């Protein structure tokens, strides 16, 4: 049997509003930086593929969209580790932390293995979706290499959830920053054929992504194994030993989280497919605009991870006041940034798009105009997108994942996708109409999820 200390609730160091702000920033800033680092890897691929031309860029959009769907299908189980570990840590339950992390590693590995044969058929899947044959073939070249990234990337996600729950996110930040620099180097080498490496084009971007994930995982594993304060959790000791109760709990929480992620990501993937129907230029502009808003979204996304941890630990302490203050603090921070980013997108969309275009790109002017129009629409939904990601993270901290999934499905697929098609093609608004549909879905989700968290006590999501 495990020699594990008995659970002892962990008191909050400073319960004041100032203490909550400091604690949120202490945890949130490294998580924001880690999310920015992760996104920077994708942005680097987009920037460098953009130098090859509109066709490789558009194919990269399709390939990364499909890969990202698979990644999201697995990552919900990694995210489930965060509230489980945070609540156990709040209770002082070392064994509970260990059980959730181990079973999280088990599940993401198994689900990734199941998805590999599907990703191998990327070209066939894209052709069924009505995409251009040439772009579909190029996208398959990318995915057949990038798909192996699932395994190290998902282990990174689980360890990030674990370290975040213990409020030790700084190591994740530094690992991701190093990963960004490495990805830039590997992209430069393998896309363009520098330093003696072969010039692989779009395949080179996939090689760089895989190499970056493998190397980034190493310092996280080393940190978990070697840091004295973490040795009591014994994460990798007898990793092969199963735990049926923890396995079921990760599955119970993780499957709806993956469902929620898939509903939202699926909305954006459908938008990519619809833009693909409009042509290569529209799809390339969509891909660039998506990268711009994704970078900005990393700030509220990082804060939302902090929200899950802060609420989860308050739940473990049975601290109703601390839970409420933690939620208000992180929501105020997120919405403040969303307002600033909306102004940025509205005021200077063209310079943001221009960063991703090569000087010799023949379609640059058309891509620039189309992308700037999409960012103008994106400025409108910054607040509601932040509202939904914060609210769903707060609910996740309460281990409430099933109803948020159904809200997401109804909002994104019941309203968002039909609205995108209606506005984009029936009303003939093109790309702006498709992105208007995104705004409809995100608005519905933001309102419903925020209402659910505000009614947490009446809905018996919190029982102290």
Q: Is residue 11 within 8 Å of residue 317, measured between CB atoms? A: yes
CA dist., res. 310 & res. 23, Å (int): 9
Q: Please give the C-alpha separations between residue 391 and each of 84, 259, 403, 446, in angstroms, as whole numbers.
A: 18, 16, 12, 7
* Contacts (Cβ under 8 Å, ≥6 apart) of 399: 83, 84, 87, 253, 312, 315
* Contacts (Cβ under 8 Å, ≥6 apart) of 461: 395, 398, 400
SS (H, E, C) the chain: CCCCCCCCCCCCCCCCHHHHHHHHHHHHHHHHHHHHHHHHHHHHHHHHHHCCCHHHHHHHHHHHHHHHHHHHHHHHHHHHHHHHHHHHHHHCCHHHHHHHHHHHHHHHHHHHHHHHHHHCCHHHHHHHCCCCHHHHHHHHHHHHHHHHHHHHHHHHHHHHHHHHHCCCCHHHHHHHHHHHHHHHHHHHHHHHCCCCCCCCCHHHHHHHHHHHHHHHHHHHHHHHHHCHHHHHHCCCCCCCCCCHHHHHHHHHHHHHHHHHHHHHHHHHHHHHHHHHHCCHHHHHHHHHHHHHHHHHHHHHHHHHHHHHHHHHHHHHHCCHHHHHHHHHHHHHHHHHHHHHHHHHHHHCHHHHHHCCCCCCCCCHHHHHHHHHHHHHHHHHCHHHHHHHHHHHHHHHHCCCCHHHHHHHHHHHHHHHHHHHHHHHHHCCCHHHHHHHHHHHHHHHHHHHHHHHHHCCCCCCCCCC
CA dist., res. 4 & res. 16, Å (int): 32
CA dist., res. 292 & res. 313, Å (int): 33
Specify the residue for token string 């004041």. Answer: 16
Q: At how many degrees (to 10) do helices 17-50 and 320-347 cross?
A: 40
Segments making up each domain of the chain, as ranges: 25-454
CA dist., res. 42 & res. 27, Å (int): 24
CA dist., res. 345 & res. 379, Å (int): 5
Burial of 196 (0-12, 13-18, 19+ CB in 10 A): exposed
Whole-structure pTM value: 0.81
Position 10 scores a pLDDT of: 54
Q: Is residue 111 within 8 Å of residue 18, measured between CB atoms? A: no
Position 413 scores a pLDDT of: 95
Q: Is residue 167 within 8 Å of residue 97, measured between CB atoms? A: no
CA dist., res. 123 & res. 140, Å (int): 5
Residues of the chain with pLDDT under 50: 1-2
Specify the residue for token string 């202490």. Answer: 26
């Amino acid at each position: 049997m495990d020699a594990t200390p008995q659970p002892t609730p962990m008191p909050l160091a400073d319960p004041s509003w100032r203490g909550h702000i400091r604690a949120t920033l202490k945890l949130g800033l490294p998580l924001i930086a880690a999310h920015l680092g992760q996104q920077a890897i994708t942005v680097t691929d987009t920037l460098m593929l953009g130098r090859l031309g509109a066709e490789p860029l558009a194919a990269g959009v399709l390939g990364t969209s499909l890969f990202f769907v698979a990644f999201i299908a697995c990552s919900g189980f990694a995210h489930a580790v965060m509230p489980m570990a945070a609540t156990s840590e709040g209770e002082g339950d070392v064994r509970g932390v260990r059980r959730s992390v181990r079973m999280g590693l088990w599940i993401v590995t198994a689900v990734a293995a199941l998805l590999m044969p599907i990703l191998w058929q990327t070209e066939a899947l894209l052709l069924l979706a009505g995409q251009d044959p040439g772009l579909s073939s190029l996208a398959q070249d990318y995915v057949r290499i990038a798909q192996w990234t699932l395994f190290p990337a998902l282990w990174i996600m689980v360890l990030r959830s674990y370290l975040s729950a213990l409020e030790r996110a700084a190591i994740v930040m530094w690992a991701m920053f190093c990963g960004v620099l490495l990805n830039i180097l590997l992209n430069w080498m393998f896309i363009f054929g520098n330093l003696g490496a072969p010039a692989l084009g779009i395949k080179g971007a996939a090689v760089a992504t895989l190499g970056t994930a493998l190397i980034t995982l190493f310092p996280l594993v080393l940190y978990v194994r070697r840091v004295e304060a973490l040795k009591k959790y014994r994460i990798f000791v007898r990793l092969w030993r199963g735990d049926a109760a923890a396995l079921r709990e990760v599955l119970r929480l993780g499957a709806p989280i993956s469902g929620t992620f898939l509903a939202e990501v699926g909305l954006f993937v459908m938008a990519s497919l619809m833009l693909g129907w409009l042509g290569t230029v529209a799809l390339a502009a969509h891909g660039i605009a998506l990268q711009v808003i994704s970078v900005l979204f990393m700030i509220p996304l990082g804060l939302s991870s902090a929200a899950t941890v802060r609420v989860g630990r308050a739940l473990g302490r049975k601290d109703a006041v601390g839970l409420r203050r933690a939620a208000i603090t992180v929501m105020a921070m997120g919405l403040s940034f969303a307002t600033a980013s909306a102004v940025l997108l509205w005021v200077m969309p063209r310079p943001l798009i221009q960063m991703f275009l090569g000087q010799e790109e023949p379609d640059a002017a058309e891509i620039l105009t189309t992308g700037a129009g999409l960012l103008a629409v994106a400025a409108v939904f910054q607040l509601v997108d932040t509202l939904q990601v914060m609210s769903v993270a707060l609910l996740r901290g309460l281990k409430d994942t099933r109803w948020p999934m159904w809200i997401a499905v109804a909002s994104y697929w019941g309203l968002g996708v039909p609205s995108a098609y209606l506005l984009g093609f029936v009303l003939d608004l093109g790309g702006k109409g498709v992105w208007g549909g995104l705004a409809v879905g995100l608005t519905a989700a933001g309102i419903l999820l925020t209402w659910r968290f505000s009614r947490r006590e009446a809905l018996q999501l919190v029982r102290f």
